[in-house]
Amino acid sequence: MACEAASLPVQWKLYLPKEWADDPARREKAGVPEALEFATKPTIALQQLEHLLGQGAPRHCVLADAGYGVDTAFRERLSELGLRYVVGVTGSVTVWPPGASPYRRRPPSPAGM
């Protein structure tokens, strides 16, 4: 959480890469608990936000880099939770203003073939 005066982390969770999650020997050597399963970073972030909101945290704007912003399900869930957001995106992401939808191409006319 952040304000003009300060920022501080309010949730912590270990991110376990898929390669680690799927490697029992590596997990055992590092002492990774069996209960910890692979989850994407956007999934972890949403779990943390949902937990905080359930604890009564205020619904402030969420800021995230493109690693999160390119995940459509992440952005959609933020909207479902009633959270405004500003996220980075890459050129591979297509967005439309509220109320707009994608333009559908017309099939070529037979006369133009």
Count of domains observed in the chain: 1
110 domain residue, yes or no: no
pLDDT, tens digit, 9 for 90 and up, residues 22-33? 999 999 999 999
Angle 79-13-29 from CA coordinates, rounded to 5°: 145
Three-state secondary structure call for residue 12: coil
43 domain residue, yes or no: yes
7 domain residue, yes or no: no
Distance separating alpha carbons of residues 2 and 41, to the nearest angstrom:
20
Q: Tell me the residue range of the domain where 62 lies.
A: 18-98
Query: Does pTM surpass 0.85?
Result: no
- Looking at residue 99, its pLDDT comes to 85
Given a cut of 50, the residues of the chain with pLDDT beneath it are none
44 domain residue, yes or no: yes
63 domain residue, yes or no: yes
The answer to whether residues 68 and 76 touch, using CB atoms and an 8 Å cutoff, is no
